[in-house]
Structure 1
């Protein structure tokens, strides 16, 4: 019966140590502002372990009561250095003397443990994982043997029993080994995840750089060719003007690509203004109408008055990209429908085409860096659109199926200069769901 009781208390001590380590890492990893207070956090959790171990001790016999309080002191000093170790030593001795009363032997034993571990901690933190595991267990074993000899030498009543040897010379190095392994595993997990985030960011940048490089090189190659042609002294004035017009157009294309990249990388949020949606949409439609006519695309519109807050330049660019994509999705002609709907909370903008449509994968990857359903597309236009809508605290929804066209619905918060009742406009039959 006594053996079961001893085992139960040993498991309790192990439970407090392991769970405290896990909770420490959960808080350290998820509460960003606490990361700069790592030593204070470590001291708090290791100190709590020390108190719990002493409150629920291991009974070897009626004259001998021990616990695993030295293990949090080992771990805290090894990883936090002497400042953390000193704080933990104070917590340990204060709690020990408050619970059991003052004992000179206890004072000497834990001062020795602290001093040896503090000296060793500087080298310990420079070791690799394997070396940390082996040396931490070894130093714990050596310290347990040294303190046992101290106890025997300084106390006439202290006895070294088989139970003592097992629980306080053999078990502690194993528990320290397990604790160090758990700590290193959790720290490796945090480091790997941090590196993965950095790699993902670098991957996005490299993809954007590749797309920019590819797209800008095309217009620059054209410009270079026309400049060579302009060197011909016998070139007519009409041809010169024609070539210069081509050069200007290609340079504008290159500028637009770079602007798309900058809009995605750092969207302009400093200039927030009132945007009259009806007016802006009409301007965009008028810009696109000649090109749509060339593509045999009929633009049909139904616009209502309303205002939203945002950057007007990026608002235009956003919907210019969406409508342009809709026209390009109808290579054999079709109809582009633009409608705005006002309700109590949102200004809804719908852009529908009768084009080639998108499958589920294309819908899910809409706005993803370096992804485009078009053969020569870079995906920059859709990236800018998605980023702009997010910046304006809106959301974007896509309804589409292959060969059935696409409807893009954008919800933006209404901006009302005066508190007026919002007018609800119902969709008409010409708008497809």
Structure 2
């Protein structure tokens, strides 16, 4: 068989069919309404190549005008069943008679193809990919040969030429193999994509639940520490009052965290305000002192003045996580230094511990959800800290040596304001002028 039969007309016909298949899957995948009317869409998409293939045929001679119109008919009937096949048959016959006139052989041949394919459609759709490929090829070969004998029986002038054998008996099964393979490949891709979307949604729910658990644990740990301190018999009334205030504040923080996460689906605009670094970090240190005392960790600080802009709750939660991680990195006790300074237009905060340190891999993966070097942890605290710093247009750097310690450097853009102090009611208040 000479490859001269593969010309631009053949490629055009194949192009019409492939484009129509791709158009079908693109519309089904991206337009929700079409998912409910897949058979109607399949009918519309397969009718286009039927018409185009007949309008621009492969060749015309004195015996036959041939094209690849039977491929869309096969595909539509196999995947859509007899309703789709019946509509495609009507469209095909109407177009055929409109373009070339009435022909009894064409009518009988395609009715036979439609009936046989429609009867096989139900079983075909229950097959796996391999069986679909094999059965579609075998069905096409059998029907093409059978209808050829029908045409020879019906007409004395019908001639089976070499070109006819190639275009009507050899080429269609080959094309059916590739078309069915493309359909199955795209169908599997859509199915896997839908499963991935569902999995990602479940993963978000899982991360949200784990994150709530992790973030609420921080204030509860602080509450536990102050409760232990309240058991001391030598506490003064003022100390007890101060500890109870810390407990109330942390319980309120836990409630706020839960409220924030419950509002995750409909997040409100975050409240952004100027934050005094010295004041905010000192509040965090006061909260973490009971945990540090329980872990035999000494906290020292050298906090300089500086102002940044951000959300107060997120900022405090960020440094709570970082300081808590530093304390937990010193299971046998140690020293934790916290230093802040204003340098030009940047505010720098350093958290230095004498703990177990971090490897290069741990440093590179710091902030990834569910990655943690602790035996009990989720890694979400570090993720929240890194995300908060990024939101504030800041930068977090880690310098660590195993079994020596870790230095975390947070650099944030300074919020430039002009301050003046005024005396009112014997109290010093800070006024900000923009």
TM above 0.5, one fold? Answer: yes
1:391-406 to structure 2, matched below 5 A, reads: 397-403=395-401, 405-406=407-408
3-state SS of paired residue (1:367): coil
1:46-57 to structure 2, matched below 5 A, reads: 46-57=46-57
Deviations 1:106-159 (A, max 9, x none): 344334433433343233222222332232223323332343244334444322
1:168 Cα deviation after fit: 1.0
C-alpha distance in structure 2 between counterparts of 1:298 and 1:236, whole Å? 26
3-state SS of paired residue (1:96): helix
What does residue 272 of structure 2 align with?
275
What does residue 116 of structure 2 align with?
116
What does residue 173 of structure 1 align with?
173
TM-score (norm 2): 0.66
C-alpha distance in structure 2 between counterparts of 1:3 and 1:380, whole Å? 66
Structure 1 runs not aligned, ≥5 long:
227-234, 240-245, 343-347, 415-421, 425-433
1:21 Cα deviation after fit: 3.5
Does 256-265 or 394-403 show the bigger shift?
A: 256-265
1:22 Cα deviation after fit: 4.7
1:336 aligns with 2:336: no
1:303 aligns with 2:302: no
TM-score (norm 1): 0.66
What does residue 417 of structure 1 align with?
none
Equivalent pair of 2:336/2:351 in contact (CA under 8 Å): no
Equivalent pair of 1:297/1:327 in contact (CA under 8 Å): no
Deviations 1:159-209 (A, max 9, x none): 223432332123322321222123223322333444455556667777888
For the pair shown, the structure with the greater C-alpha radius of gyration is 2
Does 119-128 or 195-204 show the bigger shift?
A: 195-204
C-alpha distance in structure 1 between counterparts of 2:92 and 2:417, whole Å? 70
3-state SS of paired residue (1:296): strand
C-alpha distance in structure 2 between counterparts of 1:349 and 1:108, whole Å? 85
3-state SS of paired residue (2:59): strand
C-alpha distance in structure 2 between counterparts of 1:80 and 1:97, whole Å? 24
3-state SS of paired residue (2:275): helix
C-alpha distance in structure 1 between counterparts of 2:160 and 2:46, whole Å? 28
What does residue 422 of structure 2 align with?
none
1:10-89 to structure 2, matched below 5 A, reads: 10-18=10-18, 20-22=20-22, 24-25=24-25, 28-29=28-29, 35-59=35-59, 61-89=61-89
Deviations 1:264-307 (A, max 9, x none): 7973744435332326x66642322334696333152443375x
Residue 132 and residue 158 in structure 1: after superposition, are their counterparts in 2 closer, same or farther (change >3 A)?
A: same
C-alpha distance in structure 1 between counterparts of 2:326 and 2:150, whole Å? 84
CA RMSD of superposed structures (Å): 5.1
Equivalent pair of 1:284/1:320 in contact (CA under 8 Å): no
3-state SS of paired residue (1:405): strand
C-alpha distance in structure 2 between counterparts of 1:105 and 1:349, whole Å? 87
C-alpha distance in structure 1 between counterparts of 2:145 and 2:413, whole Å? 71
1:259 Cα deviation after fit: 8.6
C-alpha distance in structure 2 between counterparts of 1:124 and 1:76, whole Å? 12
3-state SS of paired residue (2:174): helix
What does residue 281 of structure 2 align with?
285
Equivalent pair of 2:278/2:303 in contact (CA under 8 Å): no
C-alpha distance in structure 1 between counterparts of 2:57 and 2:269, whole Å? 64
C-alpha distance in structure 2 between counterparts of 1:324 and 1:277, whole Å? 24
What does residue 428 of structure 1 align with?
none
Residue 265 and residue 127 in structure 1: after superposition, are their counterparts in 2 closer, same or farther (change >3 A)?
A: farther
3-state SS of paired residue (1:127): coil
1:406-417 to structure 2, matched below 5 A, reads: 406-408=408-410
1:242-261 to structure 2, matched below 5 A, reads: none
Deviations 1:185-239 (A, max 9, x none): 33223334444555566677778889969x98xx99xx9xx9xxxxxxxx99889
Residue 351 and residue 299 in structure 1: after superposition, are their counterparts in 2 closer, same or farther (change >3 A)?
A: same
C-alpha distance in structure 1 between counterparts of 2:27 and 2:136, whole Å? 25
Q: Greater RCO between the two (CA within 8 Å, min separation 6)?
A: 1
1:75 Cα deviation after fit: 0.9
Equivalent pair of 2:17/2:72 in contact (CA under 8 Å): yes
3-state SS of paired residue (1:278): strand
What does residue 383 of structure 1 align with?
383
1:395 Cα deviation after fit: 6.0
Structure 2 runs not aligned, ≥5 long:
236-242, 419-434
C-alpha distance in structure 2 between counterparts of 1:145 and 1:173, whole Å? 11
C-alpha distance in structure 1 between counterparts of 2:200 and 2:278, whole Å? 39
